[in-house]
Chain A
Amino acid sequence: MTSGSIFAVFDPAGPYAGSITTLAWVLIAMFVAVLAVVIAALWIALRGSGRLKARLGGTRAIWIGGIGFPVVVLTALLVYGLTLTRHLTAPMPQDAMRVRITGEMWWWRVAYLDPSGRPFMLDANELHIPAGRPVLLELESNDVIHSFWVPRLSGKLDMVPGRRNTLPIQADGPGVFAGQCAEYCGGPHALMGFVVIAHEPAAFDRMMAARRAPRPVPDERGRQLFRSTGCAACHRIAGTEANGMAGPDLTHVGSRRSLGAGILPNNRGTLAGWIGDSQAIKPGNRMPPYKTLSAADLQALAAYLEARK
């Protein structure tokens, strides 16, 4: 699900990732140029004529090549790099959208924030943003150090317990962008993926308005099962009595593109498989297997969750 090109870092989709990619190409070009100079010097030292060897070994060559060249080039690079990436730490517009993302073992808690910084909508493992607008992420952790990384939208930034780091992201156009925890955080760290979905701004506003509207939950059987089988102890579904906060918020789970933190496609089948035995899929994750559910109950729960749009 979170696959895609391993060269995503060279395929930026927004300004924050773009400047980092530009800097990376400049560094690669410099590496190639310096390597060429070193190889040339090596060739002269081994095979060159006596006159060239003498020049290469002289004091002047050391002053120019060993001190002057690095000082000039590295200073220029420092100035260029800081100028190029200045916007990464520049203050965001006051009205910029803010989202708090909290690293958990091994998933992501997502809270959309109002202008005063209070959460008004909870979600997990996926982030919806408007295309063409900067979004400020507040990155935190509830347990160990994680690292937030959506290579096509931004650089990576650690989520450190007890700290709040901020990271701007922006997608220039609509699209789906894969992310991945980039700091080893134990057990199923490699299966801790993330998905960012960028929408046209109008479509984004419509989606958020629809999500904020009151949501009737007509499926009484699913709702009962969700409570009686214990799901509600860890998972919240807004508009119902299910209010557990230990695991991912499932209010909108049916509209997600992925399950298990960006790792499985999301459909009724994978929902049933995850509920039945998520340990076989993501060993070590904190959800226990529910192998005692009857076929009918498992079907009903999967259908109930699939309808939580």
Chain B
Amino acid sequence: MHTVRALLPLLLTAGCKPPPDEAQHMPQADPVRGKQAIVRAGCGACHVVPGLRWPQGQSGPSLEGFADQGLIAGRLPNRPDLLVAYVRNAPATLPGTTMPAMPLTDGEARDVAAYLYASGKR
């Protein structure tokens, strides 16, 4: 039920922009768990995260509208597999980036990516 509700915006806009939404579909990940992982890891220390009232850090870019964003960190194509890898271990995925590796399991990183795609619509 949670999954359905969280994915509702995705479904509603599916007709407007089919290609990116198709590409961002993550059936095995849970955006609700993703938000919990975001709070636990403290992503808000650097990022404005949609749906998170505090903290709204300014050291990193805002993640509002992330689903519609073209590139991850301005360099990588915005695809689920790359986003999952970047969220978990950014320096290994994109050497030279400021974002450090975060204490997330692979499953948590997938949930975080799903949350960013489901909530980050402009």
Contact = CB atoms under 8 A, between A and B. Distances in A.
Interface string A275-309: 11101111000000101000100110011000000
A84 B95 CA distance: 62
Interface in B12-59: 40-46, 55-59
B60 interface: yes
Contacts of B99: 269, 272
17 contacts: A259-B42, A267-B102, A267-B103, A268-B100, A269-B41, A269-B46, A269-B99, A269-B101, A274-B45, A275-B59, A276-B58, A277-B59, A281-B55, A289-B58, A291-B59, A298-B59, A299-B98
Given A267-B103, A273-B60, A302-B100, 14 more contacts: A259-B42, A269-B46, A269-B99, A270-B41, A272-B45, A273-B59, A276-B57, A276-B60, A277-B59, A280-B55, A281-B44, A295-B96, A298-B98, A303-B100
B97 interface: yes
A281 B41 contact: no
B57 A281 contact: yes
A264 B42 contact: yes
A265 interface: yes
Closest 9 CB pairs of A and B: A273-B45, A276-B59, A273-B46, A295-B98, A280-B58, A270-B42, A270-B45, A268-B100, A265-B42
B100 A277 contact: no
A116 to B, nearest CB: 40
Tell me whether chain B's interface is mostly helix, strand or loop, or mixed.
loop
Nearest to A282: B55
Interface of B: 40-46, 55-60, 91, 96-103
B79 to A, nearest CB: 22
Contacts of B102: 267-269
Q: Which of A259, A265, A270, A276 has the most CB of B within 10 A?
A: A270
Tell me whether chain A's interface is mostly helix, strand or loop, or mixed.
helix
Contacts of B45: 259, 264, 269-270, 272-274, 281
B100 A269 contact: yes
A264 B45 CA distance: 8
Contacts of B98: 272, 295, 298-299
Given A272-B98, A295-B98, A298-B98, A280 B59 contact: yes
A272 B102 CA distance: 11
A291 B98 CA distance: 12
Contacts of B56: 280
Contacts of A269: 41-43, 45-46, 99-102
Contacts of B103: 267
Contacts of A268: 100-102
Contacts of A272: 45-46, 59, 98-100
Nearest to A302: B100
Nearest to A280: B58
A273 B42 contact: yes
Contacts of B101: 268-269
